[in-house]
């Protein structure tokens, strides 16, 4: 794919997309000057944007974009990039698509049920409600400028440097058990592959669940990682007595099994890592956790 992509938030998923398709002409934002310098050294046209202040030249780079990928957290109402850079978006003559990385957390609690993109968004979490509001802002921004808008709803992201193998190596892995609790995950390379499909297929903008095939108990992931490394897993901790931050505990308050069938059917999405087992094995073979 040879295209000018502007990334609001050139982070983990953006880097994976650029690895997948080096032909992309990438520009985008980072929060710190050090990160901007590192990106520029890597050939990315980078600008600082911390939610308030923006480097000179950012508006011009945005106006040259053919597509925009958004992965920064929601900002306060009226202060996000959809509003802050509305003029630059309107001045982008070749802008045809906006891709927004959201979260499956917006669905809230559906118990043990399988859900797809038509499921009700039942979240009561302030964090996920902010994501829903941001989805709406970008959909409206796309309508105003005549660009298709795709919402990619993502589960827990893992990959190089961010996985259970490394947590075990650092002594940070915990085996917390809440009976019946399962989570979906997605390898960062599969997220990049799905984003590339959305950017190239030319379908009308819509919502996509980008998740693995097998929602699984989190403790099973830790045990599998420990088996790969040949180390004993940490002791089980019952959820009821585990000391967790409010942020960590909030993830255990909602249940759902997220289906990726729509992306498979309409986009031809075929996860390279359909479960955590394939993903962790590939990471282990690459030396993660050593």
Q: What is the DSSP string of 202-234?
A: -PPP-EEE---S--B-HHHHHHHHHHHHT-PPP
Rg from Cα positions in the chain? 19
Is 116 inside a domain boundary? yes
Contact 151, 135 (CB under 8 A): yes
Question: Residue 225: inside a domain, yes or no?
Answer: no
180 falls within a domain: no
pLDDT for 97? 98
Rounding to the nearest 10 degrees, give the CA dihedral for residues 215, 218, 222, 228: 0
∠ Cα 21 12 45 (to 5°)? 60
Q: What is the pLDDT of residue 249?
A: 87
Provide the residue range defining the domain that includes 26: 4-159+185-213+258-272
Residue 73's domain is classified under what CATH number? 3.40.50.720
Place of tokens 């900002």: 75
290 falls within a domain: no
- The structure tokens 């940070």 sit at 172
List, in sequence order, every residue forming a beta bridge with 162; answer none if it has no partner: 159
Distances (CA, A) of 245 to 104, 250, 252: 20, 9, 11
3-state SS assignment for residue 31: coil
Least Cα distance to 229 among 271, 170, 183 occurs for 170
pLDDT digit string (tens) for the chain, length 290 residues: 668 999 999 999 999 999 999 999 999 999 999 999 999 999 899 999 987 788 999 999 999 999 999 999 998 776 789 999 999 999 999 999 999 999 999 999 999 999 999 999 999 999 999 999 999 999 999 999 999 999 999 999 999 999 999 999 999 999 999 999 999 999 999 999 999 999 999 999 999 999 999 999 999 999 999 999 999 999 999 999 999 998 888 889 899 999 999 999 999 999 999 999 999 999 999 999 88
Residue 248's pLDDT is: 86
Sign of CA dihedral 45, 133, 13, 261: negative
The pair phi, psi for residue 106, each rounded to 5°, is -65, -20
For residue 174, being part of any structural domain is answered with no
Per DSSP bridges, beta strands 148-154 and 97-103 are: parallel
d(CA 174, CA 33): 34
| DSSP-H helix ranges across the chain | 12-20, 33-41, 58-63, 81-84, 86-90, 126-145, 164-170, 188-201, 218-229, 246-251, 261-262, 276-285
Neighbours of 212 (CB within 10 A): 25
Q: Is residue 164 part of a domain?
A: no
Residue 242 lies in a domain: no
Kindly report the backbone phi and psi dihedral angles of residue 148, in degrees, each rounded to the nearest multiple of 5, phi listed first: -70, 145
Angle at 82 between CA 131 and CA 88, to 5 degrees: 160
Instruction: Provide the pLDDT for residue 2.
Output: 64
* Number of independent structural domains in the chain: 1
- The answer to whether residue 114 is domain-embedded is yes
pLDDT computed for residue 75 by the predictor: 82
Q: How many other C-beta atoms are found inside a 10 Å radius of the C-beta of residue 162?
A: 15
């Amino acid at each position: 794919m040879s295209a000018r992509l502007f990334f609001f938030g050139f982070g983990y998923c953006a880097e994976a997309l650029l690895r997948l398709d080096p032909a992309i002409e990438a520009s985008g934002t980072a929060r710190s000057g050090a990160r901007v310098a590192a990106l520029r050294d890597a050939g990315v046209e980078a600008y600082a944007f911390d939610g308030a202040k923006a480097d000179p030249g950012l508006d011009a780079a945005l106006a040259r974009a053919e597509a925009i990928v958004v992965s920064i957290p929601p900002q306060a109402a009226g202060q996000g990039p959809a509003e802050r850079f509305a003029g630059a978006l309107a001045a982008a003559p070749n802008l045809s698509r906006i891709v927004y990385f959201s979260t499956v957390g917006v669905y809230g609690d559906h118990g043990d049920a399988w859900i797809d993109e038509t499921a009700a968004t039942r979240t009561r979490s302030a964090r996920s409600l902010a994501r829903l509001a941001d989805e709406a802002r970008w959909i409206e921004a796309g309508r105003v400028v005549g660009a298709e808008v795709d919402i990619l709803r993502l589960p827990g992201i893992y990959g190089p440097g961010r996985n259970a193998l490394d947590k075990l190596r650092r002594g940070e892995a915990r085996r917390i058990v809440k009976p019946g609790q399962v989570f979906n995950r997605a390898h960062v390379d599969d997220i990049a592959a799905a984003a590339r499909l959305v950017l190239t297929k030319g379908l009308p903008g819509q919502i996509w669940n980008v998740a693995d095939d097998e929602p699984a108990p989190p403790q099973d992931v830790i045990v599998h990682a420990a088996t790969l490394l040949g180390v004993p897993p940490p002791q089980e901790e019952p959820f009821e007595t585990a000391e967790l931050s409010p942020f960590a505990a909030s993830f255990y308050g909602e249940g759902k099994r997220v289906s990726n069938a729509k992306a498979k059917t309409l986009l031809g999405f075929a996860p390279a890592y359909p479960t955590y087992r394939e993903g962790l094995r590939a990471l282990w073979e690459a030396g993660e956790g050593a």
